[in-house]
Amino acid sequence: MALRTIREYGDPVLTKKAKPIKEMTPKIEALIRDMLETLYDSGGVGLAAPQVGMLKRLVVIDISEEQNEPHILINPEIIESDGEQKGLEGCLSVPGKSGMVTRPNHVKARALNEKMEPIEIEGVELMARAICHELDHLDGKIYVDLVEGELYDNEDLVPAEDEEDEAADMGQETEETNGEA
């Protein structure tokens, strides 16, 4: 296994449409292993092959905190989606930035697994967001094109628990505490 370089926003490969994988080969097996290692090393939840410079329709997703539940999706396509969620989204190819993006709250996708067997995967909330985000990469789309409003520097964003601590330090109420300290 090897870490792959993650291509960053502005790299032309990120705007190109990826090609389907026709058969499992040792090179594709190595790419899957490398993508998982790169994903886990980066601390992200998903990675698409174009992000490591390969124009193949392949994504790896793992939303588990333990990084031990990988989903390998070859030639994926969304076959169903519903609901709506709006939330901050980031990308390993756009380091240090986040923006508000609206995505479906539930998606179902069809793909092949690493054994080239047909599978279906359903996702809600974060998993639905990750599936949509990674599949966008396969079509040359980057989340910054979907951002509603401005793109934020991650260092300027304050985690929710820090806001509560700061509000408590200043004797202010937050939405979550509603004065119940």
pLDDT digits (tens, 9 = 90+) for 80-107: 999 999 999 999 999 999 999 999 999 9
- Token readout for 12 is 């032309």
**Going from the N-terminus, what domains does the chain have, and what CATH number goes with each?**
12-150 (3.90.45.10)
**Contact indicator for 144, 9 with CB cutoff of 8 Å:** yes
The yes-or-no verdict on residue 164 having pLDDT over 90 is no
Active site amino acids: 134
**Contact indicator for 33, 79 with CB cutoff of 8 Å:** no
Least confident of 20-29, 60-69, 163-172: 163-172
The yes-or-no verdict on residue 181 having pLDDT over 60 is no
Q: How far is CA 173 from CA 157, 158, 159, 160, 168, in A?
A: 19, 16, 16, 13, 7
Q: Is pTM beyond 0.75 here?
A: yes
Question: Tell me, what amino acid is at 140?
Answer: G
